[in-house]
Chains A and B, each alone.
Chain A
Amino acid sequence: SQQGEEDPQALSIQEGENATMNCSYKTSINNLQWYRQNSGRGLVHLILIRSNEREKHSGRLRVTLDTSKKSSSLLITASRAADTASYFCATEGGSNYKLTFGKGTLLTVNP
C-alpha cells in the first residue's frame, strides 16, 4: 500500500513554538499533499508538493519531500491556538490513481 503514515500520532506544543509532523510512504508517488481537519469538520487542503520538488512554502507552512527516503515533513512556524487540528498527508502515484490518506497527526497548540 502507498498509504502515508504520519508521525507522531499526537503532538502538544505551546503557542509560538514550531510544530513538525512527518509522513512516510512505501511506493513511488507523483505528488504528496497535506490537509488539515478541525474537529467535526471536513478536510482542508494546505499544500501540494510534486515528486520533482524538494521544498515548498506557503505562509507559515514549509513542506519538504525526500523521495529517496520516501518521506515528507510539514513544519508550522510560530504556531497559534487556531492551528489545533489533525493533519493528514495524502499520496497519489503508482498503479492506484487515487489519493490515499494517512491516519493523521493530532496537533494541540496550547495558548
Chain B
Amino acid sequence: DAGVIQSPRHEVTEMGQEVTLRCKPISGHDYLFWYRQTMMRGLELLIYFNNNVPIDDSGMPEDRFSAKMPNASFSTLKIQPSEPRDSAVYFCASSLSGVSDTQYFGPGTRLTVL
C-alpha cells in the first residue's frame, strides 16, 4: 500500500487566496483525520470523518476552514480566504477502525501564506 497520500507537499500563496489541500487515505480505513502542526500550538486535530461523515469538527478554527469527504478515497481541506496565521504543516491521517486505533499519517502539506 502506498500509505496516506497528500498533495501538494508545499503550497505558497498570498493572503486572501483560496487554498485546497487534498488527501487520499489508506484503502479500507474507515477514519480520516486532518491535523495542523505549528511550533506554538503543536499538533491539533481539526476534524475527523467516519465512513465519509464528519464526526467532530470542533477543532476547525474558523468558518474560513471547511473539509469534505465525498467518497472513501478522497478528502479536501479548504481555507478561504487564507491568512498568514494559517501558515503551518497540515497532516492527513487515517485509521482502520477508530480514534484509538493506530493512525497512519501522510507526509503533510507545508502551507505558507504571505
Residue numbers of A with Cβ under 8 A of B are 30-31, 33, 41-45, 48, 88, 92, 97-104
Whether B100 and A103, one on each chain, are in contact in the complex, defined by CB atoms closer than 8 angstroms, is: no
Whether A45 and B104, one on each chain, are in contact in the complex, defined by CB atoms closer than 8 angstroms, is: yes
In addition to A30-B100, A101-B42, A102-B42, 15 A-B residue pairs with Cβ atoms within 8 Å of each other are: A31-B100, A33-B102, A42-B4, A42-B91, A43-B43, A43-B91, A43-B103, A45-B103, A48-B102, A92-B99, A97-B99, A99-B100, A99-B103, A103-B42, A104-B42
Residue numbers of B with Cβ under 8 A of A are 4, 33, 42-43, 45, 48, 56, 91, 93, 99-100, 102-108
CB of B68, distance to nearest CB on chain A (Å):
19
Which residues of the other chain, A, contact B106 by a CB distance below 8 angstroms?
A: 42
Which residues of the other chain, B, contact A48 by a CB distance below 8 angstroms?
A: 100, 102
Least CB separation from A102: chain B residue = B42
Say whether, besides A42-B91, A42-B107, A42-B108, A100 and B102 are in contact (CB < 8 Å). Answer: no
Pairs across A and B, CB under 8 Å, 11 listed: A30-B100, A42-B105, A42-B107, A44-B105, A88-B43, A97-B56, A98-B48, A98-B99, A99-B103, A102-B42, A104-B42
A61 to B17, CA, bound (A): 45
Which residues of the other chain, A, contact B104 by a CB distance below 8 angstroms?
A: 45
Whether A92 and B42, one on each chain, are in contact in the complex, defined by CB atoms closer than 8 angstroms, is: no
Which residues of the other chain, B, contact A103 by a CB distance below 8 angstroms?
A: 42
Which of B93, B100, B105, B106 lies at the interface centre, i.e. has the most chain A CB atoms within 10 A of its CB?
B100
A98 to B56, CA, bound (A): 9
Least CB separation from A42: chain B residue = B105
Say whether, besides A98-B48, A101-B42, A104-B42, A41 and B99 are in contact (CB < 8 Å). Answer: no
